[in-house]
Amino acid sequence: MADLANDVVTYTDENGSVFSNTWDPMSRKTNTTIAPASGIGGTTAQSFQHNGLAQTTFARDTVGTNNADVTLVYDSIGRTVEEEQVYGGNTRYVTNDGFTSLPVSQFTLPNARQINNSFDALYRRQQIIEAATSAVIASWQYFGSNRIATVTLGNGLVCSNMNNAQTRSAIQSGLPTPGWGSLATDQLGYDGAGRMIGERFINGTDVTVGLTSAYDMSSNKLFERPLHAEERSSPYDSYDSMNRLTSCALSCAGPCGITGPGTILRIINNLQDRFHYGFSLCCGSAK
């Protein structure tokens, strides 16, 4: 359920746990309380503090009476320079040591390990590099100004948004569009509007994990289809009059512990990027 400002105030996940959110007048989340379903453990509350620039300065995750706290420090132009993490009486720091304009070009982890990021002239991430050994952890290739083509990880695994021949990434007029297919058949990463509709993880010549999706004309997602686990495909069939997703049907069997159709509510919070400018290696998550 959302309020008049379009902020989600309550939702229920697939386990039956109920999340209640509180927002300030600027639509910044300040608190979340969680009523876990029977047999579900973990976080019971979260709280957030923000500065006048709407940057998150403090976050707390509570499990019963135990707190995990994060304090964020910014410089005069809004870049995160340090993250302090406190849990169980231990305090650890992650420090951003260098920048390429806005993006972080180097950061230091609590164990003194240093990681370097390189960016091109358009501030697109090119590589993540181990500072001590110069080993490449991940590298990116792009189509156009911001469409990711591939992400190659240091272990050789490639996250691809391209077809099997590695010559196309998007649906184009006058060119054939791959059919429904399977994990091994041809897929494209983007539709004609530039929205991501597919990505696959390729190990050598074998596709190990894949995902496809599609959108309606209002850019509402219609489904998520795991190519490697068809039984877990999720139709997104419930939107309100403001095109906000309210629920989707989840068919799940196996490790998730649910048999038969269930309901999962997928809410995307408006939290800021992580301190090191989106360190996620997934194709669709590189910022």
Q: Work out whether strand 234-235 and strand 221-226 pair parallel, antiparallel, or are unpaired.
A: antiparallel
Domain locations in the chain as residue ranges? 1-73, 75-285
Q: What is the pLDDT of residue 105?
A: 93
Q: What is the pLDDT of residue 241?
A: 67
28: which residues sit within 8 A by CB, 6+ positions away?
48, 50, 54
- Measured CA angle at 174 (ends 172, 179), to 5 deg: 65
Q: What is the pLDDT of residue 272?
A: 27
Q: How many CB atoms lie within 10 A of CB 35?
A: 12
Q: What is the pLDDT of residue 124?
A: 93
The backbone torsions φ and ψ at residue 277, rounded to the nearest 5 degrees and listed phi first, read 60, 45
86: which residues sit within 8 A by CB, 6+ positions away?
68, 69, 70, 71, 92
Q: What is the pLDDT of residue 247?
A: 62
**Three-class secondary structure assignment of 197-242:** CEEEEEECCEEEEEEEEEECCCCCEEEEEECCCHHHCEECCEECCC
Q: What is the pLDDT of residue 92?
A: 95
Q: Which residues of the chain have pLDDT under 50?
A: 252-287
Give the closest residue to 23 by CA, choosing from 35, 34, 9, 4.
9
Q: What is the pLDDT of residue 126?
A: 95
Q: What is the pLDDT of residue 253?
A: 41
Give the DSSP letter of residue 190: B
Q: What is the pLDDT of residue 56?
A: 96
Q: What is the pLDDT of residue 248?
A: 60
**CA distances (Å), 168 to each of 22, 46, 232, 274, in order?**
44, 43, 28, 31
Q: What is the pLDDT of residue 90?
A: 93
